[in-house]
Chains A and B, each alone.
Chain A
Amino acid sequence: MNSDLTRATAAELADALATKTVSSVEVTQAHLDRIAAVDEQVHAYLHVDAEGALAAARSIDERRAAGESLPALAGVPIAVKDVMTTRGIPTTCGSRTLEGWVPPYDATVVTRLRAQGMPILGKTNMDEFAMGSSTEHSAYGPTRNPWDLERIPGGSGGGSSAVVASFQAPLAIGTDTGGSIRQPAAVTGTVGTKPTYGGVSRYGLVALASSLDQAGPCARSVLDTALLHSVIGGHDPMDSTSIEAPVPAVVEAARNGDVSGMKIGIVRELGGEGYQPGVRARFDEAVQLLVDRGAEVIEVSCPNFDYALAAYYLILPSEASSNLAKFDAMRYGLRILPDGVDDPSAEQVMAASRDAGFGDEVKRRIILGTYALSSGYYDAYYGSAQKVRTLIAQDFERAFAKVDVLVSPTAPTTAFRFGDKLDDPMAMYLNDIATIPANLAGVPGMSLPSGLADEDGLPAGIQILAPAMRDERLYTVGAALERALADRWGGLLIDRAPQLDASMVKGA
Chain B
Amino acid sequence: MTTASMTTDEVMDYDEAIARFDPVMGLEVHVELSTETKMFCGCATAFGAPPNSQVCPVCLGLPGALPVVNATAVESAMRIGLALNCEIAEWCRFARKNYFYPDMPKNFQTSQYDEPIAFDGHLDVQLDDGSTYRIEIERAHMEEDTGKSLHIGGATGRIHGADHSLVDYNRAGIPLIEIVTKPIVGAGERAPEVARAYVSALRDLMRALDVSDVKMEQGSMRCDANVSLRPRVGDDHSGPEQLAVPLGTRTETKNVNSLRSVERAVRYEISRHAAILAGGGSILQETRHWHEDTGVTTSGREKSDAEDYRYFPEPDLVPVAPPRETVEALRATLPEPPAERRRRLQTEWGYSDLEMRDVVNAGAVELIEETAALGTSAQAARKWWLGEPSRRANAAAQDLVTYAAGLGFTPGDVAELEAMVKAGRLNDSMARQVLDGVLDGEGHPVEVADARGLELVQDDAALEAAIDEVIAANPDVAEKIRGGKVQAAGALIGQVMKAMKGQADAGKARQLILDKLQ
Contacts and interface: CB of A to CB of B under 8 A. Distances in A.
B314 to A, nearest CB: 8
A103 B310 contact: no
A326 B63 contact: yes
B451 interface: no
Interface centre among B100, B165, B308, B315 (most CB of A within 10 A): B315
Contact of B57 (A93, A104, A373): A104
Interface residues of B, number: 30
B310 A85 contact: no
A319 interface: yes
Interface centre among A84, A350, A373 (most CB of B within 10 A): A373
A314 to B, nearest CB: 11
A326 B64 contact: no
A271 B57 CA distance: 43
A104 B63 CA distance: 10
B238 interface: no
Contact of A240 (B57, B107, B318): B318
A91 B63 contact: yes
Interface stretch (B65-73, B283-291, B350-358): B65-73
A109 B310 CA distance: 31
Interface string B296-316: 000000000001101110011
Interface stretch (A205-213, A218-226, A488-496): A205-213
Given A91-B63, A211-B315, A378-B312, A240 B68 contact: yes
Nearest to B41: A238
B135 interface: no
Contacts of B108: 322, 325
Given A322-B310, A325-B98, A203 B66 contact: yes
Given A322-B96, A325-B98, A325-B107, A205 B312 contact: no
B102 A346 contact: yes
Interface string B161-174: 00001010000000
Contacts of B276: none
B65 to A, nearest CB: 7
Contacts, number: 100
B63 A93 contact: yes
A347 B159 CA distance: 13
A332 interface: yes
Interface string B156-186: 0000000001010000000000000000000
B66 A202 contact: yes
* Interface size, A (range): 35 or more
B317 A240 contact: yes
Contacts of A98: 63
Interface string A375-418: 10010001000000000000000000000000000000000000
Nearest to A349: B102
A447 interface: no
Contacts of B67: 240
Contacts of A330: 102, 167
Interface centre among A98, A107, A238 (most CB of B within 10 A): A238
A326 B61 CA distance: 7
A388 B107 CA distance: 28
Interface string B5-44: 0000000000000000000000000000000000000000
B105 interface: yes
Interface centre among B63, B67, B167 (most CB of A within 10 A): B63
A84 B98 CA distance: 24
B105 A240 contact: no
Interface string B314-347: 0111100000000000000000000000000000
Contact of B66 (A91, A239, A373): A239
B77 interface: no
Contact of B106 (A91, A239, A325, A370): A325
B488 interface: no
A104 B68 contact: no
B62 A104 contact: yes
A98 B63 CA distance: 10
A84 B63 CA distance: 9
A238 B107 contact: no
Contacts of B311: 373
B109 to A, nearest CB: 11
Nearest to B101: A346
A91 B60 CA distance: 17
Contact of A346 (B57, B96, B165): B165
Nearest to A329: B102
A109 to B, nearest CB: 10
A116 interface: no
Given A318-B312, A325-B106, A350-B100, A238 B62 contact: no
Given A105-B62, A237-B68, A326-B107, 7 more contacts: A93-B63, A107-B64, A203-B66, A206-B64, A318-B312, A326-B61, A330-B102
30 contacts: A85-B62, A85-B63, A91-B63, A93-B63, A101-B63, A103-B57, A105-B65, A107-B64, A203-B64, A203-B65, A206-B63, A207-B63, A211-B315, A238-B66, A239-B66, A240-B67, A240-B68, A318-B312, A321-B98, A322-B108, A322-B310, A325-B98, A325-B106, A326-B105, A328-B102, A328-B107, A331-B60, A331-B61, A346-B102, A347-B100
